[in-house]
Amino acid sequence: MERKFQHRQPPSSEITPQSVYLSRREWLKMAGLVSTASVLAACTPNGTLPSSTTTSAAPNGSLVDEFGNPANTYKEITHYNNYYEFSTDKQAVARLTENFQASPWAIEVGGMVHKPKTYDYNELLKFEQVERIYRLRCVEAWSMVIPWTGFELNKLLRQVEPLSSAKYVKFTALLDPKKFPGQRNRLYPWPYTEGLRLDEAMHPLTLIALGVYGQPLPNQNGAPLRLVVPWKYGFKSIKAIIKIELTDIQPTTLWSTIAPDEYGFYANVNPQVDHPRWSQRTERRIGELGRRETLMFNGYADEVAPLYAGMDLRANY
């Protein structure tokens, strides 16, 4: 696949503040997240991390993905957010989440597994942590480049030992209208639910994110933990997860329940399949003027296209 991108020298307002970048290592040490395998790098072609690497950075010091695109600033990442549990106004979410209490927290992992278990948040910190710069592409045709901290979901799923009959993974977010004012809106079938095929969930690109820029995940970004599936539209990356369930039935998800003609189960980034209200051929990178071409599978086709060999991606949108 030919990879195209617009490489530019970002203005000073978009360059990652050095204090933010350097502080991440101190937080990682305090949280016990640094291991010899922890790296800050974009995805390698086979979807796995090299044993050692150096930070991927532009000459001006800003972090970049494997296309050379600079990461969005911490402020951009934390002040333009889709989080309907709080508000449909992307620029209001940060303010509305200020008092959200993300601790204590536990996540139940069960269903069709041999060893179901409920994990305390601190237990999740013991999984091998990685840092990866992923592009986030939303169905409304905007995008960001985000340095995530977290662990591969497959590490967690292997611990509970899925049954051979398990085919899907269902994710459920916290249901608490007192904490989530948006959940008082009865137009939505709360709680927020999402799902993946088991092979998608086991793919090494699929993360449980615990942080951004090496700092704990902010409330507005889904604290204390969220799913990140970089080749799918952003609504698949469910926030504030409290339950993961393995099943042999394709899960019913919130958005595919509300508008199945607009939000399919797979939700793979595909410039050839338009949303009924938006073209998906181009996107607006937050912090940039103009638009750029949308890449198939958000640029991760080399890693994930084999998952969908022989499928009609227009029918399975």
Domain at 159, CATH number: 3.90.420.10
Mean per-residue pLDDT for 229-255? Answer: 98
What share of the chain has pLDDT > 90, as a percent?
78
**Number of CB atoms found within 10 A of residue 189's CB:** 13
In a domain, 238, yes or no: yes
Statement: residue 191 has pLDDT above 90: yes
Identify the band that residue 172 occupies on the pLDDT scale cut at 50, 70 and 90.
very high
Domain ranges, residue 132? 12-306
pTM, two decimals, is 0.83
Give the ranges where the chain is alpha helix by DSSP (H). Answer: 18-31, 74-78, 93-96, 121-124, 153-160, 198-202, 254-258, 301-304
In a domain, 314, yes or no: no
* CA Rg value for the chain: 18
Q: What is the pLDDT of residues 44-95, one digit of tens each?
A: 223 332 222 233 565 555 799 888 889 999 999 999 999 999 999 999 999 9
Q: Give the H/E segment covering residue 235.
A: none
State residue 90 phi and psi, 5-degree precision.
-60, -30
Mean per-residue pLDDT for 173-182? Answer: 97
Mean pLDDT taken over the chain: 85
State the Cα angle at 275 between 297 and 244, rounded to 5°. 60
In a domain, 79, yes or no: yes
> Which SS3 state, helix, strand or coil, does residue 134 take?
strand
DSSP at 67: T
In a domain, 101, yes or no: yes
The more confident residue out of 61 and 212 is 212
Q: Domain count of the chain? A: 1
In a domain, 177, yes or no: yes
Q: Give the H/E segment covering residue 62.
A: none
In a domain, 126, yes or no: yes
